[in-house]
Structure formats: structure tokens, C-alpha cells
Chains A and B, each alone.
Chain A
Amino acid sequence: MKEEENSEIEFLKELSPLLFEKGIGMDAEAPDGYFEEFGEKIKAKIHQEEAQESRPEIRISKYINVRNLAIAGSVALILALVPFFRSNNVPGTQTSELVINPETEIAELNEYIDESDLYTVFENEEISDYTVSANLTDDEIINYLVREDYSEQLLLEMR
């Protein structure tokens, strides 16, 4: 260990003669009486912080009855939920589902129906029956159209 210390001293001497001299200290000094008073100051600070941390709990238990607080909270919650329940039970109230009036014009419908809605419709239907094979005969196609109740005019065009 002593060898290590000597090598460090030599290292410093070689690298920085100025620092090696060790005459260089730092001017920084504490004000007079600082260290004599610091001990008491820090203990007072610690006790003050501890007192502040424990104070809010004492205040709450002294002035507020927890049981009454729970009852008041429940009542407030029920009152807040009443408008929500009321609006869902009144007849004729609009629901979140779209009700399409047969008299609604096509143009208006376009505002409500998104292209993605159409895809959703196709996804939900069983498409296996609608799969069109390249090798279907005319009769097979016609039978499909009849099943789907397509117009006679279209059927005539197929023949």
C-alpha cells in the first residue's frame, strides 16, 4: 500500500508540480460559528419536517368522522349517476344505434354510412355461399340469382 501511495505522489509531481506543492488549498472557509450552530440547526429541521409529515392525519381524524364521510360520499355518487340512468329509461329517447327512417333520402344516408360499415356487413355475412368460381355454368349463376331474388330482366339477359 505504501508503494502505491508513493507512486501516486510521483505521478502528481510529474504531471503537475503546481498541484504537487499542496500549498494550494481552497480559500473557501465557512462563516464564523457556522459549525458550532449547524448541529442544532439540522436537528431542528429534521424535527420540523417530521412534525409536518404527521400533522395532516391528526387533523383529519379529529374533525372528520370517517363513517359520516363514507355516507356522504355514497350519496354524492348516487346523485351524480341519476341523470345518467334517467336519460336511458325515457321512452323515445335517442339511443346510440342509428334508426334509419325509410323516408330518409339517399344523400343523407351517405353521411351516416361509412365505407367501412359496408365492409363490416360483408365480413359478418357468410360469404361461402356467394363465392363465385370461374368454372360456374350459366345455370349455376342463374340459380344463384333466382335464389337471391334478382329481377327477371337480369335473368333474361343472362340467357
Chain B
Amino acid sequence: MRSGEKELIHKLKQKNSRDAAFTQLVKMYQQPLYYHIRRMVGNHEDADDVLQNTFVKVWRFIDDFKEEAKLYTWMYRIASNEALGFLRAQKTMPSGERDAQLHVATSTDGPDGESISRKLEAALRTLPDKQRQVFDLKYFSELKYDEISEITGTSTGALKASYFHAVKKIEAFLKSH
């Protein structure tokens, strides 16, 4: 763990320096966490809710954080679990609403650069939630397999297999659409 991160954790666990340290923490991680969540849940409003829940949990449980793992992998873990929980809850949503959201994502209006991004977004939606999570952490967040393993609690071998299948499915989807 880097010394800067250690110092930040130490300040977060002290009552008198907690507020300032938390502000710094939010500034450092709000964007990567936001985009990770956004790619998982699909829209800004839901991503905002999940991101807020993530930071509330970080505030509440920072005292329980064991410094065996890195701070950002711990935060990514919370964010991922919150997003997965949100997606599980969404599965009980009436199918009409879900289909409408998917329609928005697959719209091909606009220039080619935009349409391929939308297709990628649609392709991601076809993946199982956990596989999408692995793909996002590897492809977009560019984390290493051992870091993803800390976040997901899955072995690196299983992660590699999951990523492999995700890439194949996305490639097939992009070619066929």
C-alpha cells in the first residue's frame, strides 16, 4: 500500500480529520467509480443513486477496513456489490420497462462513432451481471487480474475464463449488429 494511501486511511479513522479526508477521498474516486457503476447499471440517475450508496457505506465502514487490501479495491468492491444488488432488484421490474431501457441503449441514431458505442453498451447488457462486471473492470478500468480477484472474491483463473467469454460474446454481437 502506498504511503499516501496509508496516511489517508489513518486520517479517515480519526474523528477530527475524518471530514477533510473523506472530501479528498471522494474527489479521488468519484469519477472512476461513477463510470464503472454507470457501465453496469446503464443510466445516470441509477448510477448516481448507487454511487451515493457506495460512499455512504465507505463512510460507515471505514473503521472496519482492514488494511490488508488496497483502499481502492475495497471501494471498487463496495461499488460493484451495490451495482449488482441494484441490478438484481431491477430484475423484478416489469419487462416492459426493462425493454424500453434496452431500446434506448441500442438506438443507432447518430454518427458511426456514437452508434458503435451504443452497440457496445447493448452488447454489455446481454452479458450476465457478474461477467459484465469482470469485463468492465478489465477492459475499461484496466485493473489487473489479482486486483479484480480482490474485488470480486473470484480466482484469477475463473476471471480469465470469464473475460475470455465476455470478449467473444461482445465481438459476435458487434459483428452481427
Contact = CB atoms under 8 A, between A and B. Distances in A.
How many chain B residues sit at the interface, stated as a range, is: 20 to 34
A12 interface: yes
B59 A15 contact: no
B11 to A, nearest CB: 15
Contacts of A28: 35, 38-39, 44, 121
How many chain A residues sit at the interface, stated as a range, is: 20 to 34
The dominant DSSP class at the B interface is helix
Nearest to A49: B56
B171 A43 contact: no
Contacts of B22: 43
A24 B121 CA distance: 10
Given A28-B39, A42-B52, A19 B171 contact: yes
Contacts of A27: 114, 117-118, 121
Nearest to B31: A35
A15 B168 contact: yes
A39 B174 contact: no
Contacts of B168: 15-16
Contact of B171 (A15, A26, A35, A46): A15
Contacts of A34: 44, 48
B59 to A, nearest CB: 5
B137 interface: no
A91 interface: no
A31 interface: yes
Contacts of A30: 34, 38, 44
Interface of B: 19, 22-23, 26-27, 30-31, 34-35, 38-39, 44, 48, 51-52, 55-56, 59, 113-114, 116-118, 120-121, 139-140, 164, 167-168, 170-171, 174-175
